[in-house]
Amino acid sequence: MVPDALSRKHQLKMVYVGETKLQKEVRLGSHCDKFAKERKEDIQKGIKSHFHLQNGLLWYKKNWLYVPKGRLKDVFLKECHDGPLASHGGAKQTITFLKKSHYWLNLKDDAEEYVKTCLTC
């Protein structure tokens, strides 16, 4: 018997090979994001931080992609709540999926609000 994608969804992780269209949007969006600009300046000044730059993208701790303010948050919220692996699993599951590979200020609040306003749920 071969396990399907849903039974292995806890094993799935984002894999970055080259720059995707979405990564480019995140990178470009971070140029307009005050918080991202401040973290990048801190990194350039050598100030210790939990943030680091890799391929022009801002990362929090080891592997959480910083998502700048704007429409991209909604893209990730939609994928982690409405997507085929998420299946409208509620706020807790949405937050869990997001926290596996994404970071932004007020992520939890944004996810809870998104789920509250989901017409399907």
Alpha helices by DSSP H, the chain: 21-29, 34-45, 71-82, 91-101, 107-116
Q: Which of 80, 76, 99 is nearest to 90 (CA)?
A: 80
Give the whole-angstrom CA distance, residue 4 versus residue 51: 35
Domain count, the chain: 1
Distance CA 119, CA 97 (A): 20
**CA separation, residue 30 to residues 61, 84, 87, 108 (Å):** 17, 28, 29, 20
Any idea what the CATH number is for the domain that residue 48 is in?
1.10.340
| pLDDT tens-digit map of 23-47 | 889 989 999 999 999 999 999 999 9
Residue 24 lies in a domain: yes
- What DSSP state is assigned to residue 57? E
Domain, as residue range, for 69: 19-116
Residue 111 resides in a domain? yes
Tell me, yes or no, whether 29 lies in a domain.
yes
6, part of any domain? no
Query: Does 84 reside within a domain?
Result: yes
Q: Is residue 121 part of a domain?
A: no
Residue 7 lies in a domain: no
Q: What is the DSSP letter of 111?
A: H
**Span 37-90, pLDDT tens digits:** 999 999 999 999 999 999 889 999 988 999 998 889 999 999 899 988 788 889
Residue 14 lies in a domain: no
The whole-number pLDDT of residue 86 equals 80
